[in-house]
Amino acid sequence: MRSDSSGKSGCREVKPLLALAPDGELSPIEARSLSIHLDGCAACRQEAFLLSELSEWIRQQALSGPAAPAWESLERRIAFEERVRVPASTHPGPRMGGVGWIARYLVPASALLLLTVSVLSFLQGRKSAGSGEVQLAMPFGAAFGRFLETPGSEDPQALDRFLAGQKAREIPVEELSRKVKFRLFAPERLPGGFRLKKCFLFPEQAEYSLCLRYQKGEEWLAIFQQSPNRPSPFKATSSRENVLGGVPCWRKEVGRSEILQVEPDGSNLAFVARKKSVELEDIVTLIERRGFCMKCRIGAFGQTK
Amino acid sequence: MEVFRRNHLNENQAIRDCQEGRIQGLRVLFDRYKDRVFRTCLRILGDRHAAEDTTHEIFLRVFSKASSFNGRSAFSTWLYRLAVNHSLNALQKERTWGKLRLQDGSIPDDYPASTPPPDQILVETDRLDMLTGFLAALSAEYRAVIVLREIEGLRYREIAEVLEIPEGTVMSRLSRARLELKKVWAMGKGQPGINFAVSPVQMKERKVQNEE
C-alpha cells in the first residue's frame, strides 16, 4: 500500500478512470495505470467492485419494463394528426411534432381560430358592456351535466362549442398569466397520455374561472377552476397556490357521468370531468402522487395587495 | 403478401420509402427501432405515457423529415439523436410546469433557471420502477449518457456522435454520472425497505432514523 499522501493523490487521479473501467475503452496507458493502482489499493478495488455491480444492476433493471407501443397506436396517431391539423402556434403548450402535412392547413385553420376567438370576444364584450354580469340559462354545473348527457358530447369540438355557449373564450396560457396577473402553470400532459390543447377563460362574474381542455386521440378531458369568491378570483389578496396534487379527490355523479372533485384547503375548487376510457382511479392516484397540475403564484406579473 | 414485403425491405429501402412519403417504410423502421427508441425515452423521461408520446413524435418526425437524413451517420445514430433531443426537450417542458419543488413546497422564484443542490431537491417523478427513481437523481445530461451507455450499450464514439459532443466530454460525464449514482447506490445498498424511488434527501433522513 502506498503512503497516505501519495496514495490519496493516486486515488484521486484514478477515480475518473475507475468509473470508466467497466466499459473496456480506456487507452492502454490509462488501463495500465489503473491496474497498477488497484494492485496496491484495497479501497479503490472495493470502489471498482461497487461500480461494476452498479452497472450490472442498471442493465438488469432495464431489462424489465413496459413494452414499446405497437404500430397500431402510431397509425392512430397519424390518422389523428391528419384529422386535427391544428397549427402549433395557436396552442398554449403542445407540440404537434412537425408533421409536414399539417403545414398546408396552417393558414385556413389559423384564420378560423382567429375568427372564432374574435366572435367570442365580441359577444363577451357586448355582454360585459351591457350589464357587467353574465346571464346564462342555468348554473354551469347543471348545464355541464346536461351537456355530458347529450349524444356527441364525446367529441372535443362539442365541448368547445359548449364552453363557447358558456361565454368562455379560448386564450393562450401565457396571455392568461398576464391577464390574471400571476404566473399560471398548467401541465402540458396528464396521466393517460392526455395533452393540453386549449385554455378557456370564463367571464369575470362566472361560476368558473377557467378550463383547461386536454385531448388524447379523440377523447377529451377537462379541468375546471372554480371561482372561490365573486366577483373575481384574480384579486391579489394573498399568496395562493391552487394545487390539485396531493389533495383528496372523490367521485361525484352527474347524470350517468362521473366527475372527480378535487378540493384543496377550501380556497378553491377544481374538478376533472372525463368521458370514455380514462380510469379515474389512475388520475386520482397520479394526481395525488405526482403533485402536479394547476399552480398559481402571485407576483410574477402583477402586484399584490 | 404484405408481411412478406415488410420483412424483406431493407433499411435503406425503408428510408427511401419514407423520403418519398410511403408509409410502409415507416412501418419497417418502426418495427426495427421502436424498442430502442422507447427504452431511451422511457429511461430519460421516467414516465411511460410520456415515453409513448415521445416515441410517436419521433417516428412522425422520421417520416416527415426523412429527407434531412443525409446518410453521413448511421440511421440508428440519427434516430438515437432524435430520441435523446426530444426526450430532453420534453423533460425541460415538464420541469417548466412545476414538477420540481423545494423541500418547503415552494417553487424557486427564478424557476426553472435556478438549480438547487441535489440535497435540497424533492423530486417528484412518476415512479415507474426503482431504476426510474434511481436515474432521477441525475441531471438530464448525465442521465442521457448513462442510458446510452448502460442500457443501449453504445460505445463512447457512438454516444459522442449521438449527443454531438467530443468523446472526452462523454467520458467525463459518464464518469461523474456513475460516481454520483454510486453514492445513492451505496447509501441504499443492504438497507431493508429502502426504495430507490425516494429522493436522496429522503434516503438520508431514513438513514438517520435507522441509526437513532
- C-alpha span between B40 and B87 (Å, rounded): 8
Residue A244 has pLDDT above 50, yes or no: no
Yes or no, beta carbons of A292 and B35 under 8 Å apart? no
Highest mean pLDDT among A48-52, A237-241, B38-42, B193-197: B38-42
Q: What percentage of chain A carries pLDDT values higher than 70?
A: 42
Of residues A92 and A83, more confidently modeled: A83
Yes or no, beta carbons of B99 and A290 under 8 Å apart? yes
Helix, strand, coil share (%) of chain B residues, nearest 5: 70, 5, 30
Q: Is A55 on the interface with B (CB under 8 A)?
A: yes
Maximum CA pair distance of chain A?
Answer: 90
Which residues on B lie below 8 Å from A193 (Cβ)?
Answer: 49, 52-53
pLDDT tens per residue across all 212 residues of chain B:
334 444 445 788 888 888 888 888 899 999 999 999 999 999 998 878 778 888 988 998 898 888 888 888 889 999 999 999 999 888 776 554 334 333 344 444 443 333 433 333 333 333 456 788 788 888 889 999 999 999 999 999 999 999 999 999 999 999 999 988 888 777 665 544 444 333 333 333 333 444 44
Q: Is A66 on the interface with B (CB under 8 A)?
A: yes
The answer to pTM > 0.95 is no
Scanning A64-139, the segments in alpha helix (DSSP H) are 71-84, 106-131
Taking the alpha carbons at both ends of chain A, their separation in whole angstroms is 68
Identity (one letter) of the amino acid at A226?
Q
- C-alpha span between A277 and A291 (Å, rounded): 23
Q: Is residue A281 within 8 Å of residue A291, measured between CB atoms?
A: no
A39-65 average pLDDT score: 86
Residues β-bridged to residue A295: A185
Burial A253-286 (b: 16+ CB within 10 A, else e): ebeebebbebbbeeebbbbbbbbeebeeeebbeb
Q: What counts of helices (H) and strands (E) characterise chain A?
A: 9, 10
Instruction: Quickly count: other Cβ atoms within 10 Å of residue A11's Cβ.
Output: 16
- Residue entry with cell 391577464: A179
- Residue entry with cell 378531458: A221
Which residues on B lie below 8 Å from A81 (Cβ)?
Answer: 60
Instruction: Report residue A163 as a C-alpha cell.
Output: 364552453
A72: confidence class by pLDDT, cuts 50, 70, 90: confident
B75 contacts: CB under 8 Å, gap ≥ 6: B11, B15, B29, B69
- Residue A138 φ then ψ, to 5°: -150, 165
- C-alpha span between A102 and A8 (Å, rounded): 61
Residues β-bridged to residue A273: A222, A259
Strand bridging mode A169-170 / A194-201: antiparallel
- C-alpha span between B8 and B117 (Å, rounded): 52
pLDDT at B130: 74
Average pLDDT, chain A: 60
pLDDT at B193: 40
Length of chain B counted residue by residue: 212
Yes or no, beta carbons of B99 and A186 under 8 Å apart? no
Residue A88 has pLDDT above 50, yes or no: no
For residue A113, the distance in angstroms to the closest alpha carbon of chain B comes to: 24
Residue A288 has pLDDT above 90, yes or no: no
- C-alpha span between A111 and B54 (Å, rounded): 29
Yes or no, beta carbons of A68 and B37 under 8 Å apart? yes
pLDDT at A173: 67
The model's pLDDT over B108-130, given as tens digits with 9 standing for 90+, comes to 444 333 343 333 333 333 345 67
For residue A99, the distance in angstroms to the closest alpha carbon of chain B comes to: 6
Long-range interactions of A88-91: CB distance < 8 A, separation 24+: A90/A172, A91/A172, A91/A196, A91/A197, A91/A198
Length of chain A counted residue by residue: 305
For residue B124, the distance in angstroms to the closest alpha carbon of chain A comes to: 6
For residue B64, count CB atoms less than 10 angstroms from its CB and return exposed for 0-12, middle for 13-18, buried for 19 or more.
Answer: buried
Considering only CB atoms, A58 lies closest to which of B48, B53, B131, namely: B131
For residue A277, the distance in angstroms to the closest alpha carbon of chain B comes to: 15
Scanning A21-68, the segments in alpha helix (DSSP H) are 28-40, 42-63
Alpha-carbon distances of A66 from A33, A150, B96, B149, rounded to whole Å: 42, 37, 26, 20
Least confident of A37-51, A158-172, A239-253, A271-285: A239-253
Which residues on A lie below 8 Å from B31 (Cβ)?
Answer: 71
The model's pLDDT over A155-213, given as tens digits with 9 standing for 90+, comes to 888 888 988 888 888 888 667 656 655 445 566 666 567 788 888 888 766 666 777 78
Mutate to test the interface with B, among A13, A46, A53, A54 (most CBs of B within 10 A): A54
Least confident of A7-11, A116-120, A160-164: A116-120
A252: confidence class by pLDDT, cuts 50, 70, 90: low
- Beta strand segments in A115-218, E: 169-170, 182-185, 189-190, 194-201, 208-216
- C-alpha span between A20 and A26 (Å, rounded): 7
Give the single-character DSSP code of A241. -
Yes or no, beta carbons of B56 and A73 under 8 Å apart? yes
- Residue B54 φ then ψ, to 5°: -65, -35
A152 contacts: CB under 8 Å, gap ≥ 6: A158
Q: Is residue A171 within 8 Å of residue A198, measured between CB atoms?
A: no
Q: Is B183 on the interface with A (CB under 8 A)?
A: no
Please report how many Cα atoms fall inside a 13 Å half-sphere around the Cα of residue A64, on the Cβ side.
7
Q: Is residue A38 within 8 Å of residue A48, measured between CB atoms?
A: yes
Q: Is B208 on the interface with A (CB under 8 A)?
A: no
Task: With H, G, I as helix, E, B as strand and everything else as coil, classify residue A198.
Answer: strand
